Amino acid sequence: MPYHNRRLRRPPLPVIALLAALLAPRAALAEAAEPPSGPAFSELWAYLMSGEERFFDPSWPISDLAYFAASIGSTGSLAGVPDLDRLPAFPGRIHLVVAEVGNYALSHFCLDPAYPLRDQLLVDIAMAARPFDGVQIDFEAVGKADREHFVEFLRLLKAVLGDKVLSVALPARYKEEQDLFGYERIGRIVDRVIVMAYDEHWSGGEPGPVSSLDWARKVAEYAATKLPPEKLVMGSPFYGRAWADKSLSRAYKHSALSAIIEEKGLPALRRSGEIPFFEYDETVTVRLYFDDAASTLSRLSLYRAASVRNVAFWRLGQEDPAIWAALAGAPAGEAAADPAEAPAAETEPAAGAGNAD
């Protein structure tokens, strides 16, 4: 059912609580869905971006589809809810992802109960969730002052959703002092915690794997001590990142331009509409780290060794296609595949930058 983004009068909290009863008949219990027959995990989640439905094949061994993403508009209302009619028939659960990943000010006004936006946002999400099996919250722009408000928001949302599956995406951590939200505390509120075990190395830092195996192992082992196995979902990336040893697209002061002209021995300047410019060739070395089916299977094997039951892939359309045949062919309850049987790849030690706050 398409979602119409119409504003509702903000009801008192008792009315918000009653919405849970309205949602119950359509709800899917967290343990109701049967796991797919092929993979060696109880649940295999995959993210799908709205508008990229062509990348989703319902025959793949996916138990949970996280449909990305509704967002919070500039006035605090829910916007951009994906249309379920665009998806093919799928036997698994479909979760509405609500994301705010960059605007700390907007997150503050929507989470702090001192402002009138929080209760209305809860209503908006509850209404949008009616045709879905669950809701996932992916708020990555929550400041220190709003951490407690975020936890309370999750508690209220769970009360509103009732039996629908509430999941939350949290950053990867492997030490107590890094775990600022508190896996254990949030795990007592929600049905699933998706640990985003990627971006160990990111575009603004030093080159390295998006998720090195040693780092992913440490994250999984830490998370397993804080969350019950049925609630822990370990993330695995499908994408890669590139770094160049030179960044040339930037603003230049005149002294720097003069130095380039002298260094390169450039001829007389050319002009376009009386504006001077010049061209020259530059050698740039690019290093690109990415995951293929073999590295993904290795990561899944170490997750299994850490007693992880559930995994999630970010995101469909970015993967090595060979991963699906490997997952579908694995006997249930056993390792998805033997990485030693995969084509050999050149490897080198990870940069070991860790996951900075």
Question: What domains sit in the chain, N to C, each tagged with a CATH number?
Answer: 13-244+289-341 (3.20.20.80)
pLDDT of residue 350: 35
Q: Cite the beta strand spans of the chain per DSSP E.
A: 43-49, 64-72, 78-79, 93-100, 134-139, 165-171, 192-196, 232-237, 241-244, 270-272, 275-277, 286-289, 310-314
Tell me how far apart the alpha carbons of residues 65 and 86 are, in angstroms, rounded to a whole number. Answer: 13
DSSP 69: E
Tell me how far apart the alpha carbons of residues 198 and 202 are, in angstroms, rounded to a whole number. Answer: 9
pLDDT of residue 37: 33
CA angle 67, 71, 76 (to 5 degrees): 150
Cα-Cα-Cα-Cα dihedral sign, residues 183, 189, 193, 196: negative
Q: Are strands 165-171 and 275-277 parallel, antiparallel or unpaired?
A: unpaired
Q: What is the pLDDT along the chain (357 residues), one digit of tens a residue?
A: 433 333 333 444 454 555 555 555 444 433 434 433 334 899 999 999 999 999 999 999 999 999 999 999 999 999 999 999 999 999 999 999 999 999 999 999 999 999 999 999 999 999 999 999 999 999 999 999 999 999 999 999 999 999 999 999 999 999 999 999 999 999 999 999 999 999 999 988 999 999 999 999 999 999 999 999 999 999 999 999 999 999 899 999 999 999 999 999 998 889 999 999 999 999 999 999 999 999 999 999 999 999 999 999 999 999 999 999 999 876 433 444 443 344 444 434 333 333 333
pLDDT of residue 62: 97
The answer to whether the beta carbons of residues 78 and 98 sit under 8 Å apart is yes
pLDDT of residue 332: 37
The residues that bridge with 196 in the sheet, in sequence order, are 171
DSSP 25: G
Tell me how far apart the alpha carbons of residues 305 and 214 are, in angstroms, rounded to a whole number. Answer: 13
Cα-Cα-Cα-Cα dihedral sign, residues 94, 166, 235, 287: positive
CA dihedral of residues 17, 19, 24, 29 (deg, nearest 10): -60
The residues that bridge with 201 in the sheet, in sequence order, are none
pLDDT of residue 58: 97
Tell me how far apart the alpha carbons of residues 141 and 160 are, in angstroms, rounded to a whole number. Answer: 23
- What is residue 144's three-state secondary structure? helix
CB atoms closer than 10 angstroms to residue 214: 14
**Residue of 52, 53, 140, 184 marked active site:** 140
Tell me how far apart the alpha carbons of residues 99 and 169 are, in angstroms, rounded to a whole number. Answer: 10
Closest CA to 126 of 263, 12, 3, 247: 3
Specify whether 140 is catalytic: yes
Closest CA to 27 of 139, 148, 160, 119: 160
* Cα maximum dimension of the chain: 77
Q: Which residues contact 303 (CB under 8 A, 6 or more apart)?
A: 216, 220, 234, 236, 311
pLDDT of residue 146: 98
Closest CA to 163 of 57, 336, 32: 32
Tell me how far apart the alpha carbons of residues 246 and 342 are, in angstroms, rounded to a whole number. Answer: 34
Amino acid sitting at position 310: N
Is the pTM higher than 0.75? The answer reads: yes
Q: Tens digit of pLDDT for each residue in 298-321? A: 999 999 999 999 999 999 999 999
